[in-house]
Structure 1
Amino acid sequence: MRARMATTTVMALLVAGLAGGVAAADDDTVPSKSDVRDARTAVRAQADDVASVRARLVVANQRLQQSAVVAAQAAEAFNGARWHADQAREAAAKAQQGVTAAEADVERQRRAYTDSLVTSYELQPSLTALSAIVHSHGITSVQERTVTMGNAEDALDGNYDEFRAAAVVADVARDRAERARTDAEKAERDALEAKRSAQRAADAAASDAQAIAAEKATLITRLAELQHISVDLAQRRQSTLEARAARAAAAAAVQEQEQEQEPAAPAQPTSQPTSEPTSEPTSQPTQEPSDEPTTDPEPETPAPPPTAPSPKSGAQAAIAFARAQIGEPYRWGAAGPNAWDCSGLTAGAWQAGGTYLPHYSVAQYEQSTPISPGQLQPGDLVFWGSSSNPGSIYHVALYIGGGRIIEAPRTGVPVREESMYSWTAPNFYARP
């Protein structure tokens, strides 16, 4: 305001001086070159203030986005730790079942071996070598008794071997079960620590959001003062600029993805012949004629991208379920019925569509079929990751067509339908 008033004063004095024919350089009412230069500097300073305020708004938005990303990463890390803990518990339960079965087998083999010992003891007087000869009635009887004695000894040895083998198997099963229990206990501790980290990240994100919102409100007010407009108009203008910038960034990201997926173009034929034609005809043909007709070789065509599976019949049911949750609050780690996080919502939606998905975005991608952006169909999943590695995925949403998604975005923002480019462009896509 002061800069504009100074400029107006300088210009008014200039006009007044010219109209009155005043030319004296030492007249106090005539602005000097220094006065004009100072006025122009003030105007530029005012413009710099507007640019500075807008730059600070951009920085504030970046801080808000980064804080939300950190919170989302922590929340999905908790979901991942919880999922791994569930798997570890299942592995421990199966290992214990193996121990139970192995110990039951050991008991059966022990009884069988004990029975064979008792039987051998009872038959021992009549099956000794001396008894077989003394009580035999000829060579045939001796042979029969000897064979019977050998069979009894073989059976006893076989039962013992089976008993020992069952005991070894039981020992291995117990070792495996112990390791599985140890892994499950560690996974439980990891999940608990991940839960604490997620809570700290969520609290920090909420605090950041409050502070940044207050900072942005102050900056918008300052911008309105500098531009001599209402705060409401300044807010709407800023929102329009931010939306335009987000669309431009998303379009650039999509274009970059498409360029990465496009196959290399085949080489084009040259327009000029490789050699100059000769003026004199040659006496001999340059190539012997062949009996087979010649055909031009077909140009090589690039291999088509892998065919994505057809969308499942449950896609519309998944979309209908997700749409019914719009307006319900976001809460990290939640999977309904009245609150959701990102992977909880997509898991619940596809459960309604008849397909199981883990409550963990990375596992949802791994258990689905990766597709390209051009293959997206309603019901597919779109993912955000911090790198080209699927292990970096921290957010997932349900695609509903027309470039739009249904998502559970972050703390303080309920389940909503939105453009999938409203934040940043996703970088992974998959079909359950």
Structure 2
Amino acid sequence: MTERLLQFIWQFQYFNNKHLQLPGGESFDIVHPGLLNANQGPDFLAARIKMGDALIIGPVELHIKTSGWYKHAHQFDHHYDKVILHVVWEDDMDSSQSPIPVLSLRDRVSKLLLQQYEDWMNNRWFIACEQQITQVSDITWLSWNERLLVERLQRKSAIVCELLQQNNQHWEETFWWLLARNFGIKVNAEAFEAVARSIPLTVLGKHKNRLLQLEALLLGQAGLLEKDYEDGYARQLKEAYQFYQAKYKLQKGPNTTLFLRMRPASFPTIRLAQLAMLIHSSGHLFSKIKEIISVKDVKSLLDVTASAYWDQHYTFDKISPAKPKKQGDSMINNIIINTVVPVLFAYGYLRQEQEYKDRALKWMEETAAEKNTIIQGFAQCGIKSRNAFESQALLELKNRYCDPKRCLDCAVGNGLLKGSSKQ
């Protein structure tokens, strides 16, 4: 038994609460267990207990053993002066004379619930409840998925807020930083964000209509124009970059871009060329996204192809079979899921404008689910994702609840333990 499990059992009344008696023999009924207290003081506040005709309202404190009250010196702490009930797992003292009424739950809790919880804490499966998870009702999943996704987006909103504080509340700049990071995918995310931070949007805006110059700025700041290339286009880019680097006094960051263990279509040269084309084809990106209603229009905005040079190249000085370097559906969806929706949600969340939050959630429903090992793992357990709304919720569930074994804070774990408490 742990104090968190004891709190859970008391909070949801997952024990036999019939014919309750205190050590002194007085009978009582629990009208309401109170509200879990996240601050200093007793575990639950404003509990309501009926003794005879009297309704007593006040805090409830929980301990594994009755002696915990004295071990923690609560008798000397004024925060506990008004406690109306001391709930324990094991009454290890003579509590009949205690000034605080004591209720022991040890003989009132289902052995099946305790065994189930212990099994979850000790197993090393993909998720603790993988053998029971399909027993959870559709209604539970519906509400829990939405809460998980909102929690995920609120957490990402905090990141957006930090970036806004760094750039004087500039939403377009913040979006540009996160967009560039997304284009770098996992391997080059840090390096691409450093590139974005090193080139102000005002500079990019001056060169919006000159694609070669945009490529030169991005590839140069990424450290990809430092060699002496034989290719004429590469030499043009290098010459342009050296001029504008000096003109704008651009400083390169310490991060280096990586090519190892990557598919050629994801090489940083290709991703930066596509990013340059996106800037070239559409300025003030975040302002445009705020005005878009349909996610199809967002996809059209992000549907870019690198310049013609890259049709036969993945890197400089090496010709490859001709193939336009078009941004695929998978990458477009990835950008919507990991940049467009989080920033749009953050905009609504931080400015208290519900329409943007609602639109962000709707776009998640209309975007295909990701394909990764976590989503595959849930599918093997019988939980399949129909869209990004559900897959993002499952990622939050796995990383924030399942892995740290927060089963007591999870609607799925709660529902399953509730069933066990009745057996």
TM band (smaller chain): under 0.3
Please give the TM-score of this superposition, normalised by the length of structure 2.
Answer: 0.25
Choose 1 or 2 for highest CA Rg: 1
Structure having the higher helix fraction is 1
Please give the TM-score of this superposition, normalised by the length of structure 1.
Answer: 0.24
